[in-house]
Amino acid sequence: MTDSKKPRLRSFETAVNQQHIPESDKYLYRVDAPIHKLVVIGTGTIGQEHMRVAATLGRASVHGIFDISEQSMDAAESAYRNYSTDTPMRYADLKSACMDPAVDAIFICTPNFTHFDVLQVALESGKPIFLEKPMATTLADAARIVEQGNDYAEFIQIGLQYRYKAQYVEAFQEALERKSLGAIKTISMSEYRPPFLDKVGQWNKFNEYSGGTLVEKCCHYFDLINLLADAKPRCVYASGGQAVNFLDFEREGKKSDIDDHGFVTIDYSNGVRASFTLNMFCPDFYEELVVNGTEGRLLAYERVDLQQLKSPDTSVSVYLGEQGASRSTKLSYPAAIEQSGHHGATYYEHIAFLDRLEGGAVDSATPLQGLWAMIVASAAQESITTGGVIDIANFIEQHNLAAALDS
């Protein structure tokens, strides 16, 4: 084993009875100093998660933070002290945060409806950019981001981190790399979870500011389905609405209009058919993926019991019948990684970003892939509103997306 691959023995590094080891004698316990400096724009829930993950991974430090809310920056700085001895710089405005020559890369973690405008300032820096999902709240803005990304000297990575969840990494290996299922024919995904959490300004309770539930929350799943289908969507039909959550919620005289459940059907150009189910008034978290091919079936799931607060119960099973040996695998990342955010997905998303920052070839989410996820989500939102089937070719033409998709 080379030194670059030596294990991180985190439980020993921090153990009370191991603190007598001097720095000069640390080998397995030695943690190399970070070599990259990040600035985090937006220090709410996901911004703080990226700060925590950066400290856990240790390859980059959070050099600075910026948020229009002083309370958010206070909370982020306080939380950061729990896992880092560094104190991030606070910037007075967005431009100074992005243009600081000491910063190597920019993380945009602001509310959805601000993504496009914040990105315009960040692009002036010429630095690598991480842009949280969804990339925008409108298709016009998302298409413009794709075009800007194509002309940008550096790269833009979209925060579709569900690609890095343990069960989906393994599912993709089985279905796409090992081709254990044969030719994929049907894909079914579902998410059951509690309502949207509180946000500063409660922007996630309104379609105008979030992009709509299927854009805000479910772009992750449409990204995964698109990758598994490996084809362009042909038509989308959806049914959904607001049944339970935030029915009495108002802010500044405006009633919440966010959907809390939905059923989506997608037909792809290669004959693959997919479905997605969302329910956001459940007592716990449960995600499921079922993929059927010509030679077998795959089931991947993740369940988190909020009452017990245990590590997620995560599994991938492949059922082959007479085609071969069926198998089930329990999955987990190390606890320190799982606890850093999104059950470890954000940690591996950071690895992909930093690998690319260092010139490596990675398979991270591109603006074009982010746009395709938004196309499916937005078409589903429109289908819920109109009650009709959305032809994607017509939808693309109506929204003037062809140039971005072909660029």
Q: Where do the domains of the chain lie, and which CATH numbers do they carry? A: 3-160 (3.40.50.720), 163-335+364-406 (3.30.360.10)
Question: Model-level pTM?
Answer: 0.95
What is the reported pLDDT for 3? Answer: 63
Alpha-carbon gap, residue 246 to 308, rounded angstroms: 26
Quick: pLDDT tens for 64-107: 999 999 999 999 999 999 999 999 999 999 999 999 999 999 99
Sign of CA dihedral 132, 138, 143, 149: negative
Q: Are 106 and 127 in contact (CB under 8 A)?
A: yes
Write the pLDDT tens digit of every residue in 143-181.
999 999 999 999 999 999 999 999 999 999 999 999 999
Burial 266-288 (b: 16+ CB within 10 A, else e): bbbeeebebbbbbbbeeeebbbb
Instruction: Decide if pLDDT at 339 tops 50.
Output: yes
Which of 142, 137, 80, 150 has the alpha carbon at shortest distance from 110?
Answer: 137
DSSP single-letter state for residue 263: E
